[in-house]
A and B are shown apart, each in its own frame.
Chain A
Amino acid sequence: MSQEPKKRISIIAKPTHDCNLACTYCYADPTLERGNMNETTLWNMTSKSLQSYDRVDFIWHGGEPFLVPLEFYAKAVEFQKMHTGKQVTNGFQTNGTLVTDDVLDFCERYDFKIGISLDGPETINNRARMFPNGQGAFEQTISAIRKVKQRNLGNGIIVVVSKLNVDRCVNIYEFAKAEGLNLKLNPLIRSGRALQIYDEIGLEPREYGRAMVDLFDRWFYDVPTIGIDTFEELMGNLLTGVPFGCNYSQSCQNSFISVGTQGDIYPCTRFDGIHEFKLGNINTDDLNKVLESEKRQWLRDRTLRIKECLPCDYRQICNSGCMHGAYMQTGDIDKRDYYCVGYKMLFSHIRKRVEAELAKAEVKQHAV
């Protein structure tokens, strides 16, 4: 029996843009406002979103969200509970270095999930993920990951793939497998601090594609193994023909917004601080009007405008990829994702492998 569709949105909330790490490839704009989100902005973000949507998924992002005291998040829960009949989920995306027992207790008590960024084993991770004094963050991060896993608050890591580790993806996989962690691998974003060293650590799309194809085979035929969201998402997209994931969906603008420390609304956290993409401010604007604005509609219709992707076999499950990736490479969102060639290598490879396995389970149909 079908149910009435529910209106749902994910809000990437920025309680602070400050961070205690100084990762060399950070995509955040280093000139973004400092300080923490105040209670007025928190209230407006919570009440306006829950008035507009039946379900809101808050992704507490940063900077580093645990630079903000836990009392702030307790207040967030208090505000959320004032909106009855709504469904709310909460999750932190953190570097893990400030995860304490108090944080874990809080997350358990209020059902906040925790996602942690780590680039694999120490020697690989510490090439990019470090404190401002140059000390690598591996030790603190892996300690947090193990505690988070032990308490069932999260069981995966997000890895940034760059020139620093693209030839070590299988090592990263083996590390994650040994730790019993699921993986998500994101290619480097040409943005923020990463721009300063992009020529050194930036990837060619084919380089990324080759690394992912190799890793796919290592994973696909491994028993037992772990989950790799990057691949599972694509397998699901190929099998259903319906794209899932912010990179490939027909429009991420049906599902996401970002709210900054001072209430600025952007299409996605990757656009934070790029003024031409600012959609409004949660404190001063009507959220419904922002979400229905011409600017957001223009973003939402991007895929329809990109003619260069029309002949592509994978257009239906890729939708020209990430508009931020296109914008940062070309200055125009109406271009295909920078990693297009690499994605196509991976789509094609996965399709080949999946179809070969399905053929073995094929049921021969007899003519009636």
Chain B
Amino acid sequence: MPCECPKLVSYKQMVFDPEKIENPVLARVIRERLCEYPKFLHEWGDNRWADRYVDSNFAIPIVR
């Protein structure tokens, strides 16, 4: 399945580009977990992530 990772991600007041994260551990965790979280939670029947989608207080995709 192609990665649906957003181009830019926001976290708190920051907007960052996942591609520019230098730390390889953090880059991998974001790639593997942040991209997959919404899909994973939805599969579990938990739609709380959808609320987060419009709440910029947490890491959410803002550009697809």
Asked whether any CB of chain A lies closer than 8 Å to the CB of B30, the reply is: yes
> Which chain A residue has the least Cβ–Cβ distance from B7?
A363
> Which chain B residue has the least Cβ–Cβ distance from A364?
B15
> Which listed segment binds B: A120-128, A231-239, A305-313?
A231-239
- In the complex, A351→B14 CA distance in Å? 14
Asked whether any CB of chain B lies closer than 8 Å to the CB of A358, the reply is: yes
In the assembled complex, how far is the CB of residue A6 from the closest CB belonging to chain B, in whole angstroms? 6
Asked whether any CB of chain B lies closer than 8 Å to the CB of A244, the reply is: yes
Residues of chain A within 8 A of B44, CB atoms compared: 5-6, 8, 254-255
A242-B48, A354-B26, A361-B20 in contact; A6/B15 too (CB < 8 A)?
no
Flag B1-36 by CB within 8 Å of A: 1 or 0 each: 000000010011011111011111110011011100
Asked whether any CB of chain B lies closer than 8 Å to the CB of A352, the reply is: no
- In the complex, A366→B64 CA distance in Å? 19
- In the complex, A192→B17 CA distance in Å? 48
Are A7 and B14 in touch, CB under 8 angstroms? Answer: no
**12 A–B contacts, CB within 8 A, in A order:** A5-B42, A6-B45, A222-B25, A225-B25, A232-B29, A235-B33, A244-B37, A358-B16, A358-B21, A360-B20, A361-B20, A361-B21
Flag A76-109 by CB within 8 Å of B: 1 or 0 each: 0000000000000000000000000000000000
Asked whether any CB of chain B lies closer than 8 Å to the CB of A132, the reply is: no
A5-B47, A235-B29, A242-B49 in contact; A220/B42 too (CB < 8 A)?
no
Asked whether any CB of chain B lies closer than 8 Å to the CB of A35, the reply is: no
B: which residues have CB within 8 A of A?
A: 8, 11-12, 14-18, 20-26, 29-30, 32-34, 37, 40-49, 52, 55, 57-59
- In the complex, A244→B41 CA distance in Å? 9
- In the complex, A244→B42 CA distance in Å? 13
A: which residues have CB within 8 A of B?
A: 2-3, 5-8, 219-225, 232, 235-236, 239-242, 244, 254-255, 354-355, 357-363, 365
A5-B43, A232-B33, A358-B11 in contact; A363/B17 too (CB < 8 A)?
yes
> Which chain B residue has the least Cβ–Cβ distance from A5?
B45
- In the complex, A219→B46 CA distance in Å? 31
Residues of chain B within 8 A of A2, CB atoms compared: 42
- In the complex, A223→B24 CA distance in Å? 8
Within 8 Å by CB of B52, from A3, A220, A241, A355, lies A241
Within 8 Å by CB of B45, from A7, A220, A224, A235, lies A7
Are B59 and A240 in touch, CB under 8 angstroms? Answer: yes
Within 8 Å by CB of B22, from A6, A224, A357, lies A357
Residues of chain A within 8 A of B29, CB atoms compared: 232, 235-236
Are B49 and A240 in touch, CB under 8 angstroms? Answer: yes
Are B42 and A3 in touch, CB under 8 angstroms? Answer: yes
- In the complex, A357→B9 CA distance in Å? 14
Within 8 Å by CB of A242, from B12, B15, B37, lies B37
Residues of chain A within 8 A of B25, CB atoms compared: 219-222, 225
Are A365 and B15 in touch, CB under 8 angstroms? Answer: yes
In the assembled complex, how far is the CB of residue B47 from the closest CB belonging to chain A, in whole angstroms? 7
